[in-house]
Amino acid sequence: MRREGSALNGLGVVILKELSDHLTSVRMRVLEWLVVLFALAALYLAIQQVRETTAEDPFLLLRLFTRAREGIPITFVAFLSILVPVMAIGLGFDAVNSEYNRRTLSRILAQPIYRDALLWGKFIAGLLTITFSLVALWLLVIGLGLVLLGVPPSAEETARAFILLLVTIAYAGVWLALALLFSIVFRSAATAALVTFGLWLFLTFLWPSVLAQMVAAVIAPPDPGYTALGLPTPETTEWGQMLSRLSPSTLFGEIAFVLLNPDDVSARSLGAIYLVQLQGAARGALPLGQSLVIAWPDIVGLVAGTIVLFTIGYMVFQRQEVRA
């Protein structure tokens, strides 16, 4: 059945309204400060480390993202991988249910717009808000890097850092879509927040390192031949890796690793690497294009995850009754 008019009628109006709500909210202030302070701390630690160890390094800027002082295993990328979900969930967990609870939904939907516009508007406004913060953060890192290290970054370094920025936005998109989905499913904002944060904790800390490996050991039991030699079975390891990629955090970590460590041989493949493959491998750094090829499946995975989660949310929202 065809509907009259555009599904995105009024989208711009909703985006502007949601954006101004986000940017003026106390929640956003707190998140901004959290991000800036944590980033500065991580950057400070990285710069100390970089200054001590590096004499001549062609990827000095990228080291800012990946190095940490010994004993404190917190890199800038690790910060991002934790803080970005917190931010996205913080902005999205009450997107739709707050409209129910404030009893504004039926009034707004009685205006000449479709539900599509409202949901898209909320998602885009949330993503734009996060993008603003991330761009500011990115410029802060590059700028501080310039000032503190005194070495201008090369074009390739800047390109790699920029692609990381785009990937981080996609990573935020997954969590925002997840938060939006739960804000549709659960009428109570507290429940939605709890479930979303719970799932995030599960996917980030429990699944990749513990549960995925357990499931992998069940699917492909370790070969006694390898175990006798004290080696992991390749099949089990591969399954473990594949399963752990169900977590967006794993995907983000892998992409960042490949993008930011062009001269690390282990960043040449995201599967298991065998010694044979490394023998005779060309020395030196991998070109940007090749790094992208390696990271591409993971990047697609992040974007696909966002689309799938948003689509589920969209379908649930379309079928939901308006009355509170």
Partner 1 sequence: MNDVVIEAKNLTKRYGGIAVVKGISFSVARGEIFGLLGPNGAGKTTTILMLLGLSDISAGTARVLDHNPVREPLAVKRRVGYLPDEVGFYDNLSAGDNLRYTARLIGLGRAEREERISRSLAHVGLADVADKRVGTFSRGMRQRLGLAEILMKDAQVAILDEPTSGLDPQVTVELLDIIRDLKHRGVSVLLSSHLLERVQSVCDRVALFNEGNIVLLGTVPELGRQVLGGGFRVEVEAQGEGLAEHLARVPGVRKVESAGPSRWLLLAEQDVRPEAAAAVVAAGGRLLRLAVAEPSLEAIYRQYFHEHPHEGERHAA
> Judged by CB under 8 A, does residue 29 bind partner 1?
no
Q: Show the tokens assigned to 88.
A: 């996205």
Stretch of 13-21, 33-41, 48-56, 83-91 contacting partner 1, by CB under 8 A: 13-21
Q: Kindly tell me which residue out of 27, 29, 51, 102 binds partner 1, with binding defined by CB under 8 A.
A: 102
Least Å distance, CB 136 to partner 1, is: 24
Please check whether residue 54 is in contact with residue 63, taking contact to mean a CB–CB distance below 8 angstroms. yes
Stretch of 214-222, 227-235, 287-295, 316-324 contacting partner 1, by CB under 8 A: 316-324
> Judged by CB under 8 A, does residue 111 bind partner 1?
yes
- Length of the chain counted residue by residue: 324
Please check whether residue 313 is in contact with residue 178, taking contact to mean a CB–CB distance below 8 angstroms. no
Stretch of 14-22, 182-190, 223-231, 251-259 contacting partner 1, by CB under 8 A: 14-22
Q: Show the tokens assigned to 272.
A: 């298991």
Q: Kindly tell me which residue out of 40, 41, 108, 148 binds partner 1, with binding defined by CB under 8 A.
A: 108
Q: Kindly tell me which residue out of 58, 107, 190, 293 binds partner 1, with binding defined by CB under 8 A.
A: 107
> Judged by CB under 8 A, does residue 21 bind partner 1?
yes
- Of 105 and 177, the one with the shorter C-beta distance to partner 1 is 105
Q: Kindly tell me which residue out of 91, 113, 127, 130 binds partner 1, with binding defined by CB under 8 A.
A: 113
Q: Show the tokens assigned to 310.
A: 């948003």
58 in helix, strand or coil?
coil
- Of 104 and 227, the one with the shorter C-beta distance to partner 1 is 104
Which amino acid does the sequence have at 300?
V
> Judged by CB under 8 A, does residue 17 bind partner 1?
yes
- Number of Cβ within a 10 Å radius of residue 286: 19
- Of 24 and 279, the one with the shorter C-beta distance to partner 1 is 24
Q: What is the DSSP string of 267-321?
A: GG-SS---HHHHTTPPPSPPPHHHHHHHHHHHHHHHHHHHHHHHHHHHHHHHHS-
Residues near partner 1 (CB under 8 A), total: 27
Please check whether residue 182 is in contact with residue 93, taking contact to mean a CB–CB distance below 8 angstroms. yes
Please check whether residue 263 is in contact with residue 285, taking contact to mean a CB–CB distance below 8 angstroms. yes
Q: Kindly tell me which residue out of 53, 104, 188, 269 binds partner 1, with binding defined by CB under 8 A.
A: 104
How far apart, in whole angstroms, are the C-alpha atoms of residue 240 and residue 243?
5
Q: Show the tokens assigned to 14.
A: 């909703």
Binding residues (CB under 8 A) for partner 1: these are 1-5, 9-10, 13-14, 17, 21, 102-114, 321-323
